[in-house]
Amino acid sequence: MDNPFAGASGERLARAPATALVIFGATGDLTLRKLIPALCNLAQDDYLPTPFVVVGASRREIPDEQYRQMILEGIREHSRRKIEDKIWQEFSENVFYHQVRFDNQNDYHLLKERLDNICRQKGGNLNFLYYLATSPSYFGLISENLHQAGLVESTKHGLRRTSVIVEKPFGHDLDSAKRLNLELKSSFEEKQIFRIDHYLGKETVQNILVFRFANGIFEPLWNYRYIDHIQISVAENVGIGRRGEYFDKTGIVRDIAQNHILQVLSLLCIEPPVSFTADSVRDEKVKVLKSIRRFTTPQQIETCTIRGQYIKGYINNQAVRGYTEEDGVAKNSTTETFAALRLEIDNWRWAGVPIYIRTGKRLPKRITEISVLFKRPPDILFKNLSYRGVDQNVLAIQIQPREGISLKICSKPPGPRLRAEPVVMEFNYGHSFGVPSPEAYERLLLDAMKGDATLFTRDDEIEEAWDILDPVLHHWETKDSPPLYTYEAGTWGPKEAANLLKSSGRRWRRL
């Protein structure tokens, strides 16, 4: 079995209906590095619908053939595997380019004519899927112009399904997120809007639901009686690269915590849904987000959060610059490149279980891991055995770079003495299934074509996530904000981050 979208018995997934995918921002980095390579890999696995067309839409005027050559270069550089010449030839024949100046209403009418002609040529009434791979400042404008040009059809009476995919960042705070939701919903119905978070397309994140609910041994333990605490770490060893101007206005909490981490946390902690349909799963995720205790006073924020900024140091024995020395960053910037927070979920399942999250740039390694640490057994049986104590059982779900799950248990090592030593049982995606995991965008694009919104974020999820972190961000921006600690590049953040756990006798897990 070499198809990553086939099941354990080799069965195939249902094919998506005929689709015309219109990508706004067609010459941008996201399109060339992620979207087009993902589509070509779907074509190689024979999962694209028939017929299927791609229409690149951007402000420049580019002939179709020149655009095809442009995306071919992106595929050669960024695809996870080599695309067969035959597959590329068939795919490229269905790729077109159309100039659309986002604020020019006439360009949208011309786009409609082009799409109608393509549909006639392909002999079908294709669904229209719009991907807004642009700055969020254009989301409302593009949506309104699509609607005014008659390119958005109602879900009740339309002859075709029309949907829109929008990329993060989805708002800068709660108020801007609400405004953006209203702008989109003035042109599209909520069920037509697919807010994409590529983390939810990663195999290991999707596996959280299967792991929890398909294994009877874990669900009875998945509560405050047996779990001591949870840690979620998203570490990057890279700096900000060419994103200095953007990142300096954003910070690591808006860039990572508000979306990726809270999405993963909500999946990890949900109650069993009635089914794996989109709204059943998302309803339960919203309940988790609503149950997270809010920060209501500056004292709570200062006790439960730590922020930091990297200074010059070493990554892999190479000297690297400090954050304020990066291109596009203000010399007196107080933007955080590291954040650690202590959260609690006030419901019957999780009451009293702290959840520690941390994320940062220029840390020693690139790794994303969820660690569930179980309560320690009583030490009385081992206290006289000259042993340092029984280790906690730890269930670790690694999302990247090494996708897999490990469980640390205690066992007696060989020898005449009765001792307990930790051992680790591991499952690795690559070794266990013998196929490479598809890129996250492959799964998400395929689901959007099918109209399956399970792995996409709903409007109330977005707003609840912002509601949790807004008080923190606003307090950090006041004159009475807590200290911005520094940490050397290549270390695990400011030493003060350990204080979040130290007061309760806990510590960050070594990654």
Q: Are the C-beta atoms of 5 and 438 separated by less than 8 Å?
A: yes
Query: Which token pair is 404?
Result: 């897999």
Q: Cα–Cα distances in Å, from 15 out to 142, 192, 212, 450?
A: 29, 19, 28, 8
β-pairing verdict for 52-58 and 318-320: unpaired
CB atoms within 10 A of CB 422: 13
CB atoms within 10 A of CB 122: 16
- In the annotation, is 229 catalytic? no
Distance CA 470, CA 299 (A): 15
Q: What angle do CA 394, 397, 399 make, to 5 degrees?
A: 155
Q: Which residues pair with 23 in a beta bridge?
A: 56, 131
Sequence-ordered list of residues with C-beta below 8 angstroms from that of 247, at least 6 positions apart, any chain: 240, 255, 328, 329, 335
- E strands, 87-168, in order: 95-99, 127-132, 162-166
The residue annotated as part of the active site, out of 98, 198, 229, 260, is: 260
Nearest alpha-carbon partner for 404 in 363, 376, 370: 370
Q: Are the C-beta atoms of 18 and 30 separated by less than 8 Å?
A: no
Query: Which token pair is 172?
Result: 């800068």
Q: Which residue has the tokens 């990297």?
A: 310
β-pairing verdict for 95-99 and 193-195: unpaired
Distance CA 438, CA 80 (A): 8
Question: Phi, psi (5° rounding) for residue 429?
Answer: -55, -50
Distance CA 364, CA 354 (A): 25
Sequence-ordered list of residues with C-beta below 8 angstroms from that of 232, at least 6 positions apart, any chain: 261, 264, 265, 268, 355, 356, 357, 358, 369, 370, 371
Distance CA 248, CA 239 (A): 12
90: Cα separation from own chain's centroid: 31
CB atoms within 10 A of CB 376: 12
Query: Could you say which DSSP state residue 256 is in?
Result: I
Query: Which token pair is 74?
Result: 């992106």
Residues forming the active site: 260
